[in-house]
Amino acid sequence: MRAQQAVDLPADAPGQPPGGGDARPRRDRAATRRRLLEAARDLFAEHGYDHVTVRMIAGAAGANVALVNRYFGSKAALFGEVLASESGLHAVFAEGPEGLPRRLAERLARQVAQDRPSPMIRSLDRSLGNPEVLPILRRHLETVLVEPLTALLEGPDARVRATAAATILLGAGSVRRALGLDALRESDPEALTDRLTAMFEAALAPS
Amino acid sequence: MRAQQAVDLPADAPGQPPGGGDARPRRDRAATRRRLLEAARDLFAEHGYDHVTVRMIAGAAGANVALVNRYFGSKAALFGEVLASESGLHAVFAEGPEGLPRRLAERLARQVAQDRPSPMIRSLDRSLGNPEVLPILRRHLETVLVEPLTALLEGPDARVRATAAATILLGAGSVRRALGLDALRESDPEALTDRLTAMFEAALAPS
DNA sequence: AAGGTATGTAGACGCTTGTTTACTTGTCAA
DNA sequence: TTGACAAGTAAACAAGCGTCTACATACCTT
């Protein structure tokens, strides 16, 4: 077993001489791997799969380019691992179907207010075009969004309703990217939450 | 080797003399330009900006790669011209605000049923990631979707409501791409239209 | 202290991209 | 018929990509 480093590194400069009396090993596979994963998570969320290069990831992590492939096999595999590390909407679903539309709306409205959509959504709406990552993305989306939501709804058309709700969630990502969120902030957060709640209710309602 | 040029041009506009066996000019700037534009429109809609190469466009149009830049200046400019050639939702908006949610829903449901979203939507949800085309895309979306819709709605929060509706439209594109539309076809077209109508009504309702 | 090995590095490989250049060839007016 | 000019072509350019290989170095065990 390897001693776990409890230190959460900030983005440190690679060639930096030891600043203080830090005796931490300068070579740490686990830490480097983690830095790469976190850098990839942030960059994919910001720019999408296609427009993030492995050199960008390595640079942000203060690591060598070759380590991306050494530790993750390939850029696509790294993307898959990033997705797998996302918790998704688990917390929202855990509370059951009661009040679900409002909880979804609140979550989305909060993200709008902060201009901080979930990494999953951000990665997604900027990575849709790539046929290489599409299966990874699809599987992830099914697992963390559609299937839990479908299970929560019950009934024959549960999947249709879940997909309709997914349309709003994914659409918000596209809107954020393509139009910006300024328009949505014209109304106050409460009014926006109410509107989104109504939209989710319409999407999730039994037919 | 020469003259392997694929000349599968259908009988097109330039006035063809009826009588003589005289062949139509094998060099036709306007026709070539149009073929390039149409090929680009279809390919961008199918694969998104990033994953369409100028060589794919030229190949599909039966033209030389260099002509893309000769006739349009650049790939990005060609993309802009493709967007500009789209009519968008003009017809839906022309009929006024009455019954607008249902008309939008019907249009969307029809596209779902046929698996043929509008070229604008298809291009859009697959081209979001590229910072080079984002301004072009944003401007187009504002012009053909948000602004007409906002004008139709009137009122202080018109823009918020228009953006909420855009969320559904754009989200449908993402869903189609990421999840496929099979789930949405579990319910019959009428039920789907009803559900979408309710969603658009919720999005467009005054606060 | 020494050496084996895991960790990190530098650089190049092969390929693809958008774009440009130099050239050939068809068309049409004179 | 002829020659100028437009239309189309082939090839190369520079840059960027993901990936891989050979090498250097820090660390841990002995």
Read off φ and ψ for residue B198, nearest 5 degrees: -65, -35
Residue B25's pLDDT is 61
Report the alpha-carbon distance of residue A170 to residue B124 in Å, rounded.
13
Q: How confident is the model at residue A4 (pLDDT cuts 50, 70, 90)?
A: very low
What's the average model confidence in pLDDT over B71-85? 94
Assess whether pLDDT exceeds 70 at residue A60.
yes
Assess whether pLDDT exceeds 70 at residue A14.
no
What pLDDT digit, counting tens, does each position of A170-202 carry? 899 888 888 888 888 888 899 999 999 999 999
Residues above pLDDT 90, as percent of chain B: 53
Residues 19-78 of A with CB under 7 A from strand D: 25-27, 52-56, 65-66, 68-69, 74-76
Assess whether pLDDT exceeds 80 at residue A120.
no
Nearest-neighbour CA in chain A from B9: distance (Å): 30
B123 within 8 A of B83, measured Cβ to Cβ: yes
Looking at strand C, which nucleotides approach a protein CB closer than 7 A? 6-12, 16-22, 25-28
What pLDDT digit, counting tens, does each position of B85-96 carry? 877 789 999 999
Nearest-neighbour CA in chain A from B159: distance (Å): 6
Q: pTM higher than 0.85 for the full model?
A: no
What pLDDT digit, counting tens, does each position of A62-81 carry? 999 999 999 999 999 999 99
What pLDDT digit, counting tens, does each position of B98-136 carry? 999 999 999 999 988 877 666 666 666 666 777 788 888
**Token duo for residue A59:** 């640079």
B143: closest CA among B162, B161, B126, B129? B162
Which residue of A56, A175, A185 to mutate against B (max B Cβ within 10 Å)? A175
A14 within 8 A of A32, measured Cβ to Cβ: no
